Amino acid sequence: MIHLHDFVALLDNIPNTTIIRGTTGTVVSQLSDNFFLVEFSDENGEVFEQLPIQQDSLLVLHRISENAEFANP
């Protein structure tokens, strides 16, 4: 399930754009049951593209802090 502000990666190239498979972005709006508006920005946080992307073309990524502690098994 995809939520607002999720960090996502594209699973497919987007034709007629510079957005290719593996590009990461942030979900900024849910447009319908199957489409989300994804914002793509550069390393300075400047937005260079906002596109409606179908849910099946997105993979939710989870960030792990460098300071995260893990339990020993």
- Per residue in 26-57, pLDDT (tens digit) is 999 999 999 999 999 999 989 999 999 999 99
- Per residue in 52-68, pLDDT (tens digit) is 999 999 999 987 767 66
Task: Quote the tokens at residue 15.
Answer: 């034709």
CATH number for the domain harbouring residue 27: 2.30.30
pTM: 0.82
- 73 located within any domain: no
31: containing domain: 7-61
Task: Quote the tokens at residue 61.
Answer: 């990524």
- The amino acid occupying position 49 is E
- 69 located within any domain: no
User: In total, how many domains does the chain have?
Assistant: 1
- 36 located within any domain: yes
Cα dist from 14 to 18, 22, 35, 44, 72, whole Å: 8, 11, 14, 23, 42
Find the mean pLDDT for residues 4-15.
Answer: 95
Closest CA to 51 of 67, 63, 33, 23: 23
- Gap between the Cα atoms of 45 and 43, Å rounded: 5
